[in-house]
Structure formats: C-alpha cells, structure tokens
Structure 1
C-alpha cells in the first residue's frame, strides 16, 4: 500500500476543498453573502442564540455579528426576542422565511454537486462516500 505524508495530503486537499466550497457558494446564487448564509445556518441549527453566541460560533467579531443580524432581521429571515435570563440581551431565531431560504440554498448546492457526481463510476462513488465519512470524523475531532 502506498504511503503519503499528512502534510502532502493536506497540501493536495486544501485547494480542492476550497474550490469545491467556492463553487457551491456560487451555485447557491442567492442575494445573501456567504457570511449571512453561514450565520443563518448557525442560528437555524443551534438557535435561538444571543448575538455573542453567534459571534463565538461563527468566529466573527461581535460588531460583525450585530451587522449581519440587522441585515437578516431587516429581510425577515431572523426574529429577536428578549432573553429571559438576561433582559439586556436578545435571542435570535430563524423565521419560517429564513428556514425556507436556507432549504433553497441547500437544494441548489446539492443539485450542483449531484450533477457532478453523476459522471463518476460506482466505484468512485463508494470511495467518495468513505471519504465523506472520514472527513466528517476529522472535523468532529
């Protein structure tokens, strides 16, 4: 069996994964920025969240989170409520409109990727399925 160093593999995977992520963002072709979509997805998955919790989860500064939330709220994609544990803060949750938009973005990305995967052999699909499992495990660690 061939051996490859982790550094060499990282060097090869990084640009491929970056290009794939970029192409999928382009295919989503919505009028939200990648930061706004990521924030909405995080709120959908973990919310309701305080703005500080969103900033922490997204690894962005609190003022950036505040600006992103204002834009999402203006478009009706998130709604704020008072934080019952701290009246000085608010909780943000995705609205039904926000959840619908996220579903549409995900469907466009999935369709783009599925179209590309249809050109592969069954053997390659099995290999990519295993690679997805491995990458999920790496990201969860």
Structure 2
C-alpha cells in the first residue's frame, strides 16, 4: 500500500512537471498559492470541528476536508516551484525563502513528511473518531509548520 502511494506521488509529480513546464513562473506561483490556500481553508474546517467547537463535529464534513488535504498533498505541487518562481514575478508575490531552492533534499524530506501525515489524516478521518482526528490533525499541522519555519518568509 505504501509503495502505491509513493508510485502515485512520483507519477503525479511527473505529470505535474510536464504541466508546469508549460506554465509561466507567475502562473506556477499563483497555482501553488491557490492550492495552499485551499488546504488551509480545509484545515480550518477540521480545526473548527475538533478543537474550537467539538460540539459541531460532523464526520462527513471532516472527511471531505481531509480528502481535499490529502489529494492536494499528493497532487505533485512540487512541480510548481520551477525556475523563476524563487522571486516575485508578473504581479505574483512569493514568500518562499531562497534556501528552499538550495536545499532540495531537505525540501523533499519535509514534503514527504507532510504527505505522510496528510494521508494519515484522511485515514483517521474516515473512522469518525473525533479524538483520533484531533491528534492526527495536530501532527499534520506540525508537518506544515516544519516547512513554514524553515522555508517561508514572514509577511
């Protein structure tokens, strides 16, 4: 099962790489910002139901949000960090630090950790166990934060 996820991720990255080769740097920045914004919104939906207001817990909504997070994590977004996307371009601003482009092994390690946690969040959300979802939500959020702390500029 894990090999399937790795192979799927590599295939998705390859397809996305082909697609990003056709996208201008400013479009790559725009697309990746949109993907992260949509994941953030869905993380917020889960947070609302398992942390902020657990009385509002709705298994189907949490699972739908977890599905989006896992799908986006596995979509090959790494291909949207092509040449020319390391700086603001064409009206699109980026908050990526230059070190992101200089440390591909560290980026890969953090990305794979996020994918792992996002996939686990999806599995746990399918159980409907709010306490387990809350725990896994924290792990998923920490994997996001690890990359932000290392490679994202403050506004």
TM above 0.5, one fold? no
Looking at secondary structure, tell me which structure has more strand per residue. 1
Output the TM-score relative to the length of structure 2.
0.29
Higher-Rg structure is: 1
Looking at secondary structure, tell me which structure has more helix per residue. 2
Output the TM-score relative to the length of structure 1.
0.32
Question: Which structure has more RCO (C-alpha within 8 Å, separation ≥ 6)?
Answer: 2
